[in-house]
Chains A and B, each alone.
Chain A
Amino acid sequence: CEIKQLSDCLIRLLLDRRDGTRTSEALTPAAAARDEFQEELVIRPLHSGDIYASFQFRTLWDTDFLQEGQKVSHYRLFPKSLGQVLSKFSVRELHISFTQGFWRTMQWGQPFIPSPPGAELWVWFHDTVSDVDGNWKELTNVLSGIFCASLNFIDLTNTVQPSASFKPLGLGNATDHRFLRYATLPREIVCTENLTPWKKLLPCGSKAGLAVLLKSEKLFHSSFHSQAVHIRPVCQDEQCTSKAWELRQTLNVVFDLYTAGQGKKEWSLFKMFSRTLTEACPLATSSKVYVDITDNPELFELSPATPLLSQAVVLGDRRTYSVFDLTRAETFGQLRSLNLLLRWKGDGEMLRPLLHAERYVAGFGLQTGEIHTVIYNNHPYRAFPVLLMDSVPWYLQLYIHTLTVTSKSRDNKPSYIHYQPAKDRHRPHLLEMLIQLPPHSMTEVTVQFERALLKWTEYTPDPNHGFYVGSSVVSALVPSMVAMNTNFTQDQPLFSSFVPVKEESSYFVRVYTEPLLVNLPTPDFSMPYNVICLTCTVVAVGYGSFYNLLTRTFQVDEPSLPLAKRLANLIRRIRGVPLLT
């Protein structure tokens, strides 16, 4: 493995040098625009006292994989492994995320890019694809190899085609959800073996730039870890005459002040990542670190201070950021390294995010249950609609006639319901609803279910742990407090430009609820031998004898004749005289 990594590194170095010479000799603007790479780190101190670090790496490439007759074979910054996958399976858009932990909206607010616990994959295929399911199956297997994850467990029993919740984020106006596939694996555990292939997709790997901070022993010593890859077609320029492909690799991590700080309320890059920054990735056109200082100086104190400030409207809020540009030498100062330091002052409390959702299983016993999804609208005076999407495995048999939606203890009729019932062992339930949330309210969606009795080979190796039900997804356009930025400009920071903003008055938010762990009726697997013996005995002895008793006709037995009479009868039979009795 080491040797392989070394050779990879060597090849990459060689390639880099060759590319470097080529670009230096022909440094025309057109050639430079062919592909570019940006990296960015946002650090946001959270109200709860935790700290949120969000990495974004963006590779833009002005080419089209899906064009007929054109074979893309020369790759520079864009990872070849992904490019080949895109063209082979005619993928229009691909979003994949691996998350360990649950984003605590009540304490941390909204993340820049939300993701559910476990693995999530959603793909829009090009509308020329004839066998979408076949492509999907192959694609998941290939991706599971690329990311070293169990995505091969995605099959038709956990794949759905949401009709409204997952619209393409890039160019193109695809509406036919036959070309969309969505699946989650709530049980997927994310660890270093997923991080390493993810880092390898970066042009500089983890050798230079912001990626040097991605040390797994620190990243997995946190409260929340999420890494994602988003690929989509975007406009090349403002006129949008031609298509470019965008690859965004994001990594979000929340560090816990209590467990890692050991009492001291102090943070630095070194403490968080056990590295400091010394240079930008040489291949990057921009490399910046943003620190959210909107709550400064009540909450914390930042050093070194920087004169560079930037304002951005993100998630309906105007925030101020200190910007550290790594491409400039003065950022690193005399020590030639950048180590940001945050000293805490304030004490955090619970937030009231405008939109918040949670879910739980109600009831007890192993026969029935009820799924409760609670959605909070904390806006003081605005009502807004949300799209709720639930994908429930077939072994929870939903009683859809028991579906109720109540807000403020009154019935709230959804204006749109899309329900696809499950087929046992073939496909899951899909329930999508458009619900209007009244201002300052709690809306509760309940549906009852019955727990199926599985076949004994269908149980997992740890059946008493329970079975997972993926997060439900709440997508909404939340009314914004400030005017959102709708014009498409290049110099917007990456974290605020992921979801396209269509109107000024609202912004798009997606909230994932917690996954559920449901116990199904489970036989006692620890004594199969006893059970088999007992069953066989009961069947053999009990059934056999009872069947015998029930079907036999009984006759009173004649007492057998003494030997002398029998002998006499023998002689009589020969003689043809009537027998004795």
Chain B
Amino acid sequence: MGLLSDPSRRKVLTGLLTRLNTPICIVCYLAGIVWFMGLAFEPFTLRTYMSENAMGSTMVLLRGAIMMLVCFCSGMPVEWLVKAMQSRGLEVFTQSFSRKLPFPDENKERYMVRGTNVYGILRAPRAPRTEALVISAPCSPGDSNNQAVGLLLALAQYFRNQVYWAKDIIFLVNEHDLMGTQAWLEAYHHTNITGMEYSPLQGRAGSIQAALSLELSSDVITSLDLILEGLNGQLPNLDLANLFYAFCQKLGVLCTIQGKLQRNDWDTAEGYTHAAQTMMLMVLKQACGRSWGDHGLFLRYHIEAASVRGINSFRHYKTDAATIGRLLEGMVRKLNNLLERLHQSYFFYLLPSLSRFVSIGCYMLAFGLLVVILLLRALDLWVHLGAPALAAPSGPGVLTVLTPVVISHLTGVALYLLPVHLQEMAVEHFPVSETEAVVLTAVAIYTAGLALPHNTQRLLSGEGTEQGWKVLKLTALLYLAVLLGCTALINFSLGFILAVTLVPITASMTPHMPKALSALVMVLLSPAFTVLYCVFIYQELIEAPVSVSEGWMLFLSVISQGILDHALYGSLVYPLLALFIYPCWLMFWNILFWS
């Protein structure tokens, strides 16, 4: 602060910052990227450890005489489930729900959705119904998850005969995967965020402390995969992951995260690449803001939840059902021991492997280095604008800056609203299905936005002045910095990915650059292309590379899924991109074509 109150030293400092602005920015950008890539390097990360005392030191003796039942779910056998749960001594209730999607979901082939959730409550002896744990298994037609319900019932039977429960346990079998969970959770908490129609719940068990979701698609299981990424990039407390890892180690079960096994050779190039790939997968999954399992919807209600997915990778190593039963029993018993909600460990983290984590204190620096570039450029512009030599007799009118801002945002609103609302009109006039209509309308509006600068200029009274674009750029830079900063606080991955692509173009953009080339670069680094790149990188990382045309189709389906996730579960990525990031990018596009 002494620096700022001393005018001469302040002058030196600002002089230094403006003179060395570009080199500093380049160094910051490179440092940010390098720092981020370094996060996957094992010596730089911390080993995970159990923070919660109630789960750490207590002994849990596992008996787990569990027989696996096989349940072939073709549709939802509601009556059978009710009977099966009742015969195991649970209080059983059902809940029906229905929902009309805004447009047909072509990935899952559904439009008018009607379903029934069945749940049974195991009442803990001498407990006053204040706390509960949830074990859920989605039951969908086909073979996709037929083993989970069997395991769930077997667990229910075994748990019913035990005396040590201190929390009620809710066994939930939900239909239509996420939609069933959403309906059940909304009914349980008596809220309605997404306009789902559901019948009220008859039985409750107090405040839910934690939840586990089971997904077992085949009866042969070679490894278990833990899925943590939830809605809007929310993650459960790291202790839940630690708990899973600890029991996998104890029982000798192969466990993976992002479907990738852990390697011990961190000092080799392959080892590092492996960790980096795992971390990149997590970043990509988190950034897309959707719930990657049923657990993701629990997180909104402050319920720590994770999905456990059984994987059959056709290796020789097999895990029998009893072991998986023991693993779940152990996890549930430890959760049952909890005295408080899980809160001791981290809520913000990245996992390069199951035994290593990067905390928020480490990874935020990478993001900070990128965003500081925007602030430096803004400072530079501020200094230039304030310099007396450049000061025009009359500053640019408010209108000069406000018009592009307002028009960009109106385009954003159009991009947010029109695709869903205009689908009927589009279907009438063009030979496309509803889903295609929505996606193609979105793409069309996005592209049409590129033509705006010419029209914006026409609206303005006079010529765009040199000072005009500087003020606009200053505004846009600060706006982007605030936007990215807020995004990264909630969803680091999304903020970081956007910063990586948006910061270089926004920091360097001026009207004096070669128009054609810079326009091309800008378009190639626009938010939509960022999504496209993410699709390709994701496919590459899960070892299922796609061709350009397949990638394009995937890109279109990602857009439709994004819009659907927003409408069905309240995911915020689509509105964020449409209402804020895209208009912000348009403001810079305006600057490029400033005349």
Asked if residues A223 and B207 are in contact (CB atoms below 8 Å), the reply is no
Q: Quick one: given A259-B161, A464-B343, are A223 and B125 in contact (CB under 8 Å)?
A: yes
| Residues in B whose Cβ lies below 8 Å from that of A107 | 91
Asked if residues A466 and B126 are in contact (CB atoms below 8 Å), the reply is no
A159 within 8 Å of B (CB atoms): no
Asked if residues B301 and A259 are in contact (CB atoms below 8 Å), the reply is no
State which of A118, A225, A465, A516 has its C-beta within 8 Å of the C-beta of B341: A465
Asked if residues A100 and B126 are in contact (CB atoms below 8 Å), the reply is yes
| Residues in B whose Cβ lies below 8 Å from that of A370 | 190
Q: Quick one: given A259-B163, A465-B339, are A514 and B126 in contact (CB under 8 Å)?
A: no
State which of A104, A220, A372, A548 has its C-beta within 8 Å of the C-beta of B190: A372
| Residues in A whose Cβ lies below 8 Å from that of B190 | 360, 362-363, 370, 372
Closest chain A CB from B335 CB (angstroms): 14
A412 within 8 Å of B (CB atoms): no
| Residues in B whose Cβ lies below 8 Å from that of A361 | 207
Asked if residues B339 and A548 are in contact (CB atoms below 8 Å), the reply is no
Q: How big is chain B's contact interface, by range?
A: 20 to 34
Asked if residues B189 and A362 are in contact (CB atoms below 8 Å), the reply is yes
| Residues in A whose Cβ lies below 8 Å from that of B4 | 545, 549
Asked if residues A545 and B123 are in contact (CB atoms below 8 Å), the reply is no
Asked if residues A259 and B1 are in contact (CB atoms below 8 Å), the reply is no
Please encode chain B, from 110 to 132, with 1 for each CB lying within 8 Å of some chain A CB and 0 for all others: 00000000000001011111110
B302 within 8 Å of A (CB atoms): yes
Q: Quick one: given A258-B160, A362-B191, A364-B302, are A101 and B128 in contact (CB under 8 Å)?
A: yes
B162 within 8 Å of A (CB atoms): yes
| Residues in B whose Cβ lies below 8 Å from that of A465 | 339-341
Closest chain A CB from B210 CB (angstroms): 13
A117 within 8 Å of B (CB atoms): yes
Count of chain A residues near B, Cβ 8 A? 54
Closest chain B CB from A406 CB (angstroms): 12
Q: Quick one: given A259-B161, A465-B340, are A223 and B126 in contact (CB under 8 Å)?
A: yes
Asked if residues A102 and B128 are in contact (CB atoms below 8 Å), the reply is yes
Cα distance, A100 to B7, chains bound together (Å) = 72
A168 within 8 Å of B (CB atoms): no
A194 within 8 Å of B (CB atoms): no
| Residues in A whose Cβ lies below 8 Å from that of B89 | 258
Asked if residues B7 and A554 are in contact (CB atoms below 8 Å), the reply is yes
A546 within 8 Å of B (CB atoms): yes
| Residues in B whose Cβ lies below 8 Å from that of A256 | 125
| Residues in A whose Cβ lies below 8 Å from that of B301 | 364
Cα distance, A47 to B475, chains bound together (Å) = 72
Asked if residues A516 and B339 are in contact (CB atoms below 8 Å), the reply is no
B5 within 8 Å of A (CB atoms): yes
Closest chain A CB from B215 CB (angstroms): 25
CB-CB nearest in chain A for B300: A364
Q: Quick one: given A546-B1, A552-B5, are A516 and B206 in contact (CB under 8 Å)?
A: yes
Cα distance, A483 to B123, chains bound together (Å) = 35
Cα distance, A524 to B341, chains bound together (Å) = 13
State which of A101, A258, A554 has its C-beta within 8 Å of the C-beta of B127: A101
Cα distance, A546 to B89, chains bound together (Å) = 67
CB-CB nearest in chain B for A221: B163
Please encode chain B, from 1 to 44, with 1 for each CB lying within 8 Å of some chain A CB and 0 for all others: 11011011000000000000000000000000000000000000
Asked if residues A464 and B125 are in contact (CB atoms below 8 Å), the reply is no
A186 within 8 Å of B (CB atoms): yes
CB-CB nearest in chain B for A358: B204
Closest chain A CB from B191 CB (angstroms): 6
Closest chain A CB from B227 CB (angstroms): 22
Closest chain A CB from B65 CB (angstroms): 13
Asked if residues B128 and A259 are in contact (CB atoms below 8 Å), the reply is no
Cα distance, A372 to B200, chains bound together (Å) = 12
A283 within 8 Å of B (CB atoms): no
| Residues in A whose Cβ lies below 8 Å from that of B340 | 462-465
A526 within 8 Å of B (CB atoms): yes
CB-CB nearest in chain B for A545: B1
Cα distance, A447 to B127, chains bound together (Å) = 26
14 contacts between A and B (CB under 8 A): A101-B127, A117-B129, A220-B126, A223-B123, A262-B161, A360-B190, A360-B206, A362-B189, A514-B128, A514-B129, A517-B130, A518-B207, A524-B343, A548-B1
Question: What are the 6 tightest A-B residue pairs by CB atom distance, in nearest-first order?
Answer: A545-B1, A117-B128, A362-B190, A464-B340, A101-B126, A517-B130
Known contacts A364-B301, A549-B1, A556-B7; 16 additional CB pairs below 8 A are A101-B128, A117-B128, A221-B163, A223-B123, A358-B204, A360-B190, A361-B207, A363-B191, A372-B190, A463-B340, A466-B341, A519-B302, A524-B343, A541-B1, A544-B1, A557-B8
